[in-house]
Amino acid sequence: MSRPSLDESYLAVAKIWAERSTCRRKKVGCVIVDQNGEQLSFGYNGANHGEDHCLDEGCLINNEGRCIRCNHAEINALLKEKKDVFKGATVYATVEPCENCTRTLAQVGIRRVVYIESYPNPYNHHFNKNMEWQQWVEPKEVKDDGAF
């Protein structure tokens, strides 16, 4: 049995943080890691402190079909730390960041985004020009037949 890669490991952690989400529509988790592989911060989508949560009041959906009651996981992760800490860091997210999160991630100097589930929109390309943008593809298990 081989051990998981760092990408696999941090995406697994992002999935665990997603379980803390208070949004009924979509549970999203995020982990931010520096260039040395050290975890800097984490976040999950949920309402502001002291505000009504989707779990209690239901989602507040805008005309684009998005829940606007919750802060996004990426924003909550960034708000936990000083933004200069994130220069050159990698974001691991369970879902591709939206254009608002992408703009914020770019502003604090994130260089790489790795996500599992695609959440396409026509605006990300305006904000992720200086970032590596990668959808994670699960590695296929290779059977070892014992031959060299």
Q: Which of 57, 74, 132, 138 is catalytic?
A: 74
Active-site annotation holds for 132? no
Q: Which uninterrupted H or E stretch holds 41?
A: strand 39-44
Residue 133 has which token pair?
A: 């943008």
Tell me which amino acid residue 45 is. Answer: N
- Using a 10 angstrom Cβ sphere, with 0-12 exposed, 13-18 middle and 19 or more buried, the burial of residue 45 is buried
Residue 14 has which token pair?
A: 């992002």
**Per-residue burial over 3-30, b = 16 or more CB atoms within 10 Å of its CB, e = otherwise:** eeeeeeebbebbbebbeebbbbbbbbbb
Just list the catalytic residues.
74
